[in-house]
Chains A and B, each alone.
Chain A
């Protein structure tokens, strides 16, 4: 079932007004009971609409759905391109171009295990209390929503860490961020071991493929920074 925002908005307001009018018929609007009934109706109607939309949203954002892809996307090259039909930037998974992570092709189960580990590591180090993920968190460090696609990894961090590719550079950085600082505000060393760092890198790659309705706009196309 497809929902349009306008239908939902109009339906929830009209239903509140109609039910409220029926239940308060004949009452003076200065009577607290009048507003009590409206308050109950308004709260219940809005909550019911929230539940309906919640079920719909949950079904559309399962792992493996169009919006939140399967973790096997970590086996492919990914990008972020403007979609003229939608009017915003969208992640693109190039299914014809393999880009293996750490030289390995992950099965569905293995990839799932890896990103589960990645999420646990991200939570255990309270990454959100410095960074933002999907734009939520603290503002002391950069947003990580599309971090996998950040040109800085290849332009600066790969040569700095003398890694053979971006993924390896990211692992090295995450294990010793204090050693590879690029600015006075350094990321602290949070004691990530190699397995944990790899899981975080996989998570960042997978997270970059989530359709975030165009956030951040034109990621990586900067008029401010030229490498």
Chain B
């Protein structure tokens, strides 16, 4: 493994074990990123040509793989980020390096088995064997129950590693304090999704505890920790400022996001008070995202954009703005119940999901990976920079905006025609899908998706090559 990591990332002989584990996670994460895009393209093409792979790999399989690959790679990216910052925040190497590596192999092996079962078995009879060993069939949480327990076990090991290392070091920074609390919440919430009930209202009630309280609460706080740490390294922002902002963000994320959960409880059979509670608090959910933008832009301005790591800095901007527009603005667009009554379950949610995940989470992982690349390949400077990351950066943003725009148009059209003018029936659905405002955007989405996939390769090429050549640029500021 060490040989592979050296080849991919550079000389890692002096890295603490914790950071080697980070690179292991990130390597798999980047591969799964590619898998996410590939299955996304297949699913997008099936919208245009439904006969494509119709009896081999129907849409529910390609779509499931598209989203599951995304969830797993982002999670692996975050774990990598945690392992990367751990030695610096604690001043010592990770306590259970061997255990950490075993957990990595277990998780990677489990993911591989789950994917193979999705691909080649796909579905089983309607019984508990299928739930445990093939597919649990709950959107985003399709992984069979054995894999759920595997994920919990792996998360427990990672948590032990972070906690034990912090305790052994005898010091706890604000970042690590928030991280430790957030990880408990993150792992605890996953447990609420591991049961079967015939009552679909109760099922979806707890299912949203996992999905919403992950992506709109605990993941956002985790990203706050990782981005805070990144700002210290990329711009040299003082820790005191970072930690003050982080606490404010935690207040705003949890203060709005916990009861903002109510915006998923409008139409699933739950009481009417969720319409008001969900509408009010979810409307405030963009607040912490505004705070993050102010934070990033202010810090960059104070330092006059001088940095040791240009790609990381620009991915920080992407994170701040992408998170604000994707999660904040696009989420706000359809969060009020009066609008959501018609837009719920349309491509508007897909538009929001694409931009939010790209901005909030993909960008965060790329920031951390570029910081690692700078540390490995150019620890004493010069500035980490290249032409190819710029091409990948601009290309990915343009392609994502194209996909998001296309889905938004389709979502609006569905909202108007299928839901408001039509009666939301099967035939209303079909007629709307054939409407040019839905049909044509599906071509745009595929085209921009292909473009995004091409820029993914540019990004991977850049990550493999950046900083390996002789220095050509003067260091702007000393690396932290």
A-to-B contact residues, CB < 8 Å:
3-6, 8-9, 12, 16, 30-32, 35-36, 38-39, 42-43, 46-47, 49-50, 53-54, 56-58, 60-63, 67-68, 112, 115-130, 132-143, 145-147, 150-152, 178, 182-186, 188-191, 196, 199, 207, 210-225, 227
Are B425 and A152 in contact, CB atoms less than 8 angstroms apart?
A: yes
Within 8 A of A (CB), among B382-422: 414, 417-422
B212-246 vs A: 1/0 string, CB under 8 Å?
Answer: 00000000000000000000000000001001100
Are B123 and A213 in contact, CB atoms less than 8 angstroms apart?
A: no
B298-306, B429-437, B457-465: which one contacts chain A?
B429-437
Cα(A133)–Cα(B347), bound, Å: 15
List, in ascending order, chain A residues with CB within 8 A of B258's CB: 43, 46-47, 49-50
Main secondary structure of the interface of B (DSSP, over half): helix
Within 8 A of A (CB), among B39-89: 43, 46-47, 50-51, 54-55, 58-61, 63-64
Cα(A145)–Cα(B259), bound, Å: 25
Q: Answer whether A129 and B59 are a contact pair too, CB < 8 Å, given A119-B200, A124-B123, A134-B268.
A: yes
Cα(A8)–Cα(B272), bound, Å: 13
List, in ascending order, chain B residues with CB within 8 A of A220's CB: 423-425
Give the distance to chain B from A72, nearest Cβ to Cβ, in Å.
14
Cα(A141)–Cα(B63), bound, Å: 13
Q: Answer whether A219 and B199 are a contact pair too, CB < 8 Å, given A123-B131, A130-B59, A139-B346.
A: no
Are B346 and A67 in contact, CB atoms less than 8 angstroms apart?
A: no
Chain A CB count within 10 A is highest, among B46, B174, B275, B280, for B280
8 Å CB contact of B127 from A124, A127, A191? A124
8 Å CB contact of A122 from B61, B124, B137, B341? B137
8 Å CB contact of B126 from A124, A137, A146, A222? A124
Are B254 and A186 in contact, CB atoms less than 8 angstroms apart?
A: no
Are B125 and A219 in contact, CB atoms less than 8 angstroms apart?
A: no
Q: List 20 A-B contacts (CB under 8 A).
A: A5-B280, A39-B251, A42-B250, A46-B254, A53-B259, A67-B269, A123-B135, A124-B125, A126-B135, A128-B137, A129-B139, A130-B59, A130-B63, A136-B345, A139-B346, A210-B201, A212-B267, A217-B419, A220-B425, A222-B421
Cα(A11)–Cα(B135), bound, Å: 42
Are A61 and B425 in contact, CB atoms less than 8 angstroms apart?
A: no
Q: Answer whether A185 and B126 are a contact pair too, CB < 8 Å, given A9-B277, A123-B138, A222-B425.
A: no
Are A9 and B341 in contact, CB atoms less than 8 angstroms apart?
A: no
Are B275 and A137 in contact, CB atoms less than 8 angstroms apart?
A: no
> What would 6 more interface pairs be, CB under 8 Å, given A124-B137, A129-B139, A219-B424?
A123-B138, A129-B64, A178-B55, A185-B50, A219-B423, A224-B421
B426 within 8 A of A: yes
Q: In chain B, what residue has the closest Cβ to A221? A: B423
Cα(A67)–Cα(B419), bound, Å: 23
Are B269 and A223 in contact, CB atoms less than 8 angstroms apart?
A: no
B246-288 vs A: 1/0 string, CB under 8 Å?
Answer: 0110110011001101001111111111111100110000000
Are A58 and B205 in contact, CB atoms less than 8 angstroms apart?
A: yes
Are B251 and A140 in contact, CB atoms less than 8 angstroms apart?
A: no
Q: In chain A, what residue has the closest Cβ to B174? A: A32
Cα(A137)–Cα(B474), bound, Å: 51
Are A135 and B137 in contact, CB atoms less than 8 angstroms apart?
A: no
Are A5 and B273 in contact, CB atoms less than 8 angstroms apart?
A: yes
8 Å CB contact of B350 from A47, A49, A130, A139? A139
Cα(A173)–Cα(B276), bound, Å: 40
Are B271 and A60 in contact, CB atoms less than 8 angstroms apart?
A: yes
Cα(A149)–Cα(B271), bound, Å: 23
Cα(A220)–Cα(B276), bound, Å: 27
Cα(A191)–Cα(B198), bound, Å: 21
List, in ascending order, chain A residues with CB within 8 A of B275's CB: 5, 213
Are B138 and A57 in contact, CB atoms less than 8 angstroms apart?
A: no
B112-126 vs A: 1/0 string, CB under 8 Å?
Answer: 000000000001111
Cα(A217)–Cα(B254), bound, Å: 32
List, in ascending order, chain B residues with CB within 8 A of A67's CB: 201, 269-271
B181-201 vs A: 1/0 string, CB under 8 Å?
Answer: 000000000000000111111
8 Å CB contact of B431 from A39, A121, A212, A224? A224
What 6 pairs across the A-B complex have the smallest Cβ distances?
A5-B276, A123-B137, A121-B126, A215-B267, A222-B423, A35-B247
Cα(A9)–Cα(B261), bound, Å: 13
List, in ascending order, chain A residues with CB within 8 A of B201's CB: 61, 67-68, 134, 210
Are A216 and B139 in contact, CB atoms less than 8 angstroms apart?
A: no
Q: In chain B, what residue has the closest Cβ to A8? A: B277
Are A132 and B425 in contact, CB atoms less than 8 angstroms apart?
A: no
Are B259 and A49 in contact, CB atoms less than 8 angstroms apart?
A: yes
Give the distance to chain A from B282, nearest Cβ to Cβ, in Å.
12
Are A61 and B424 in contact, CB atoms less than 8 angstroms apart?
A: no
Q: In chain B, what residue has the closest Cβ to A6? A: B276
List, in ascending order, chain A residues with CB within 8 A of B341's CB: 214-217
Are B259 and A117 in contact, CB atoms less than 8 angstroms apart?
A: no
Are A120 and B126 in contact, CB atoms less than 8 angstroms apart?
A: yes
B142 within 8 A of A: yes
Chain A CB count within 10 A is highest, among B61, B200, B349, for B200
Are A68 and B136 in contact, CB atoms less than 8 angstroms apart?
A: no
Cα(A60)–Cα(B425), bound, Å: 28
Give the distance to chain A from B457, nearest Cβ to Cβ, in Å.
27
Are B204 and A136 in contact, CB atoms less than 8 angstroms apart?
A: yes
Cα(A120)–Cα(B422), bound, Å: 31
